[in-house]
Structure 1
Amino acid sequence: MASLSAYNVLLFHKLDHMIYHHLVVSGKRPEVARNIVAFFMLMELIGLDVIGYIRRTPDHNVVLMLAAEADVILNCIRQELPPRSEVGLAVPRIASLVSQPVDLEFFYRNRGTVIKQLVKILDGVGLVIFDEHLHVLFIEYQDRVTCRLTAVPPVLPRQLAEPYQRVLEEDFRSMFVMFSRVSTLTPEDIAENFTRYLLLQHSFFTYFFH
């Protein structure tokens, strides 16, 4: 399999960076915006498709409401003590994206795994997605591609052409997945799903909804 370049990663995560930029422009500190977008990316892996929802509902207020709930969740999992029911456990907008009950208690109960996976995203693919210098090069290159006068694309800048490196852990395992013949999934759907897992260097983990 050919190595993914930094350009491939930025192209795939274009919406993720757009959300990050939107949050920064709206007043979030860059480090806070990074954490929120990384949380959105992580939630996609457990069936909470926040980014997909934003794609389908490109509304400024929706993004800010989801970000506010993500901020509350991130603050909750940093605490030593569990959240108190009297101050409210609901994260209604995020919870509406999944059929199982999800609240602050759920995230606090699984905070170890959530934090571990957030760190992997931020220290992995996040180093590319949130690198402003790389993003400027990416935008400039896309502009040159759009404005070119010939069918030959311009030469990709060296920094964008460099392969995206990911580290496989010792316990990285293969997984066999079978789909029913009546499944509505297309080959493209399946490829996109597992490509996203690859880009996030995701170690498979399971959340149990109680």
Structure 2
Amino acid sequence: MAGVLTVRDVLYLYSAARTAYDRFFDIGCNPEQARNAAALLLWLDQCNVSAIHHLPGLSPTAVSMVAAEANSVLECLRQPAPVVPAIPLISALCQDGDVDPRFFAFHQDLVVRGVADILDGVGALIFDEHLKVMLRRYETGLVGNPPELAAPYSCRPVAVPEDCRSMFITFSRGAPMEREEIFDYFRQKWGDCVVRVLMEKTTGGTPPMYGRIIFRSEAFVQLVLNGERLVKITIRHRQIWLRKYVPRPAATQGSGSE
């Protein structure tokens, strides 16, 4: 049917984002950091901030600086108080010559939702290694057009199980937290991103020591961690540690409650 985008079309349309990812990975970013940084630059490009198109012509040193600046933006997105990131090179690369870094600190919800939408949507194709290899093998489309590339593109994100969009949280001893505090922290910063928060079942008034956050999409987990195994967040002067949730065998489950 005329006008329907294929997977091949999408990969070509967002080739600049794939190039950015490859360059970030080549200078030492781990895959998740490279993916998040490229998604951030793609979102900026969609907002007419076109730094991403300069990546192919930059030296490895300059690419490393762009990656560091992008990660400073991603870091500020999870901070409890607005922290203005320093992004002089990204700002200099933009056609308009200026990007106000205060925007990222004070509009975290807008930035996070925009980057998350990319990671959940076109990012599933852009950063797929199998599709990259397939596209190179059949680049022209004149000789062979495998079903993976010829398939129509659906902009609807693929639903993933709750376990894939969950984070395990632990509290400092003697500094427990109410589930509503955790829920409100992310809701106030990032908008409607959390489905629910589960806490350890305890008896005799013993405060919980751990819990679980279930986000609306896997992208939020990726943006909280940004390539790290464990991150620390301070909520009302109390610290919580977050890592990706790994479900236990069914026989030993039962750690959380609604």
TM-score by length of 2: 0.55
2:153 equivalent among 161, 164, 174: 164
What residue in structure 2 maps to residue 136 of structure 1?
133
The percent of aligned pairs where both chains have the same amino acid is 31
- 5+ residue gaps, structure 2, are 158-258
The structure with more strand, counted as a fraction of residues: 2
Distance in 1 (CA, whole Å) between partners of 2:86 and 2:35 is: 23
Following TM superposition, by how much is the alpha carbon of 1:65 offset from its aligned partner in structure 2, in angstroms? 1.1
2:121 equivalent among 121, 124, 131: 124
Following TM superposition, by how much is the alpha carbon of 1:60 offset from its aligned partner in structure 2, in angstroms? 2.2
Contact 1:48-1:94 within 8 A present in 2 as well = no
Pair 91,161 (structure 1): closer, same or farther in 2 beyond 3 Å: same
Following TM superposition, by how much is the alpha carbon of 1:155 offset from its aligned partner in structure 2, in angstroms? 2.4
1:108 aligns with 2:97: no
Following TM superposition, by how much is the alpha carbon of 1:40 offset from its aligned partner in structure 2, in angstroms? 0.4
Q: Which has the higher contact order (CA 8 A, sep 6+)?
A: 1
1:95 aligns with 2:96: no
Equivalent pairs counted in the alignment come to 154
The C-alpha deviation readout for 1:125-178, integer Å capped at 9, x for no partner, is 000000111111111112xx4xxxxxx91121001111110149xxxxxxxxxx
- The structure that has the greater radius of gyration is 2
Distance in 1 (CA, whole Å) between partners of 2:87 and 2:142 is: 46
Following TM superposition, by how much is the alpha carbon of 1:100 offset from its aligned partner in structure 2, in angstroms? 4.8
What residue in structure 2 maps to residue 37 of structure 1?
38
Distance in 1 (CA, whole Å) between partners of 2:137 and 2:28 is: 25
CA-atom RMSD in angstroms: 2.1
Following TM superposition, by how much is the alpha carbon of 1:52 offset from its aligned partner in structure 2, in angstroms? 2.1
1:164 alignment partner, SS class: coil
1:133 alignment partner, SS class: helix
What residue in structure 2 maps to residue 179 of structure 1?
none
1:155 equivalent among 138, 141, 144: 144
Q: 1:16-27, aligned counterparts within 5 Å?
A: 16-27=17-28
Contact 2:72-2:86 within 8 A present in 1 as well = no
Distance in 1 (CA, whole Å) between partners of 2:25 and 2:98 is: 31
The C-alpha deviation readout for 1:19-62, integer Å capped at 9, x for no partner, is 2112112211111100000000011122321112324x332222
Distance in 1 (CA, whole Å) between partners of 2:129 and 2:9 is: 16
What residue in structure 2 maps to residue 174 of structure 1?
none
Contact 2:135-2:149 within 8 A present in 1 as well = yes
1:153 alignment partner, SS class: coil
What residue in structure 2 maps to residue 70 of structure 1?
70
The C-alpha deviation readout for 1:59-97, integer Å capped at 9, x for no partner, is 22222211110100110011111227xxxx532112222
Distance in 2 (CA, whole Å) between partners of 1:25 and 1:70 is: 16
What residue in structure 2 maps to residue 82 of structure 1?
82
The structure with more helix, counted as a fraction of residues: 1
TM-score by length of 1: 0.67
What residue in structure 1 maps to residue 48 of structure 2?
47
Contact 2:27-2:60 within 8 A present in 1 as well = no
Tell me the amino acid that sits aligned with residue 87 of structure 2.
Answer: V
Distance in 2 (CA, whole Å) between partners of 1:100 and 1:20 is: 23
Pair 77,10 (structure 1): closer, same or farther in 2 beyond 3 Å: same
What residue in structure 2 maps to residue 195 of structure 1?
none
Distance in 2 (CA, whole Å) between partners of 1:94 and 1:136 is: 29
